[in-house]
Structure 1
Amino acid sequence: MYITKIIYEEKEKLFKLVFDDDSSILINENTLIKCNIYKDKEIDKKELNEIIEENKVYEATEKALKFLKKLRTKKEISVHLKEDGLDFEIINRVLKYLEEFNYIDDHQYASSFISDKLRINRYGPEKIKYLLLNKGVSSEIINLSLEEVEDDLIKENFLKDAEIKYNKVSSTKNAYEKTVKYLLSKGYSLDYVMKNIGEVIK
């Protein structure tokens, strides 16, 4: 088939390709240039499918970049694009592009996330690991990012939360057990709690 017309649609800001069989498709400028599209060009069905796929990849990349106004994980981007019904191959091409140009980096995301959760929420390592795993960050990256954190900060948070909680419940029954339970809920392992709680509760 031949491209008989290329019409710029001002409203959609897209180019309409009209073929000699009166069928038509809308594509963006990037696809027009990348696929070397021009009036009277002859294309077969395979080339048409490639143009359509290239256009989908570009649109999906634009959607992902808008979603990246704040840091996101690779999994979050993938899930976001799947909601539009995009297939696995297109999503992988978008993710590859985003990684290549450092738009997404799970290690960077994990480091920033850990810093926020330690300094703002004072979460313990176990809770942070759980939250990051749910965001699709690998255990290897999580452990590596946590190793970069100063142990003093984690212990300082632990002692502060332990003291606040114990002082709050010290006059009630089972104050020790309540404090331990609270610290576990904050994300500290039982071993860590038992090892350090004696510095607060004598």
Structure 2
Amino acid sequence: MIVTKLEGLTKGKVKVYIDGEYHFLLYLEDIRVYKLQEDEPISEKVYTEIIENTVLRRAKQKAMAILKYMDRTEQELRQKLKQADYTETIIESAIDYVKKFHYLDDERYAMNYIRFKKNTKSKRQLQTELSQKGIRKEYIELAFEEEYDDEELAIQKAVAKKTTDIDSLSQEEKMKLASSLYRKGFKMDLIQKYTKIYN
């Protein structure tokens, strides 16, 4: 294996290319410690040591730090690690590591998401948002079974945010409110009931 390129980035970071392919990100200090130089060979032993003792360890720490402040979906964590210039293999290992300790759990994420947002959002809106976050369909369905009651409370709260007296709104204002509720995914029969658009 030959170190074909050491690409310097900001903040003392260096992208290391081996045999023409990007392999990992190190700091200038690491480059010195491992004595890496362009157009020079890198032994299997040193390569393994860099991966296991430096790159993978940092990827695990990064994953833990990301999850420490906010629950994330697997897809979101992958994106964050990718942005930090980790390769797919390293990302996979870091994700397996946090999953082992249940720090990453898409099923739990879906349950919590629906529990905390069900009173302000329609079922369709919640489904769309969870799908965009990469949550599997079966986890979404299970979470709805466990956590979602009905849309009546959610639409009541959505209407209450806009007005305390629906009867005081003009027909045009009611239609505007109905349109915004429809865009949020609420069912038309509930929209008609709570906006009184055809009364």
Match of 2:58 in 1: 59
What's the Cα RMSD here?
3.0
Contact residue 163 and residue 200 of structure 1 kept, 8 A: no
**Cα distance, 1:150–1:84 mapped onto 2, change above 3 Å:** closer
Count how many residue pairs are aligned between Structure 1 and Structure 2.
160
Summarize deviations over 1:85-144 as a string: whole Å, max 9, x none: 11100000111111122010011111111122124xx11112222222222222332222
1:45 aligns with 2:39: no
- After TM superposition, the runs of 4+ consecutive aligned structure 1 residues lying more than 6 A away are none
Contact residue 115 and residue 148 of structure 2 kept, 8 A: no
How far residue 56 of structure 1 moved from its aligned partner, in angstroms, is 0.8
Contact residue 73 and residue 109 of structure 1 kept, 8 A: yes
SS at 1:144 equivalent: helix
Give 1:9-158 correspondences, 5 Å limit. 24-25=33-34, 45-54=43-52, 55-69=54-68, 70-119=70-119, 122-152=120-150, 154-158=151-155
SS at 1:53 equivalent: helix
Summarize deviations over 1:141-177 as a string: whole Å, max 9, x none: 222211212424x322223434665734754234553
SS at 2:147 equivalent: coil
Q: Which moved more, 1:156-165 or 1:107-116?
A: 156-165
Give 1:163-182 correspondences, 5 Å limit. 165=162, 167-168=165-166, 170-182=168-180
Structure 1 residue ranges without an equivalent (≥5): 1-15, 18-22, 27-43
Match of 1:186 among 180, 184, 187: 184
SS at 1:137 equivalent: coil
Contact residue 169 and residue 175 of structure 1 kept, 8 A: no
Match of 2:192 in 1: 197
**Structure 1 length normalisation: TM-score?**
0.66
- Percent identity, aligned pairs only, is 25
**Cα distance, 1:171–1:72 mapped onto 2, change above 3 Å:** closer
Contact residue 114 and residue 146 of structure 1 kept, 8 A: yes
Cα distance in 2, alignment partners of residues 111 and 146 from structure 1 = 8
Which of structures 1 and 2 has the bigger CA Rg? 1
**Structure 2 length normalisation: TM-score?**
0.67
